[in-house]
Amino acid sequence: MNKKRLHTLIIDFKQYAFILLAVSVFFYIGVVLPDQGKEDIYDIILMITTVIFLIGSFLCFKQSLNYKKQLEKQSEHN
């Protein structure tokens, strides 16, 4: 891949990661806020969704770092 494409992928995956992180925070806030008469299944679903989004965020950050390492290797060879 060329340098411009790698740089674009790095930025994209960082943005995906931050968005997933922000959305997971909102889901977690939905769990923490007290709500009278709310069934427990909703809290369980929100916590599972929060964990899934956090894992997705972590994977996007990891992929961004992989692309950054590839970019650095290309810069060393040129």
**10-residue stretch averages of pLDDT, the chain, 78 residues long:** 92 97 95 83 93 98 96 86
| DSSP assignment string, 3-54 | HHHHHHHHHHHHHHHHHHHHHHHHHHHHHHS--TT--HHHHHHHHHHHHHHH
pLDDT in the model for residue 35: 80
Is residue 55 one of the residues assigned to a domain? yes
Note whether residue 18 is domain-resident: yes
Please tell me the total count of domains within the chain.
Answer: 1
Q: Considering the domain boundaries, does residue 78 fall inside one?
A: no
Residue 2 phi, psi dihedral angles, 5° rounding: -85, 165
Q: What is the pTM of this model?
A: 0.88
The pLDDT, as a whole number, for residue 36 is 80
The pLDDT, as a whole number, for residue 13 is 97
pLDDT of residue 20: 97
Within a domain: residue 56?
A: yes
The answer to whether residue 10 sits within a structural domain is yes
CA triplet 35, 41, 46: central angle to 5 degrees? 75
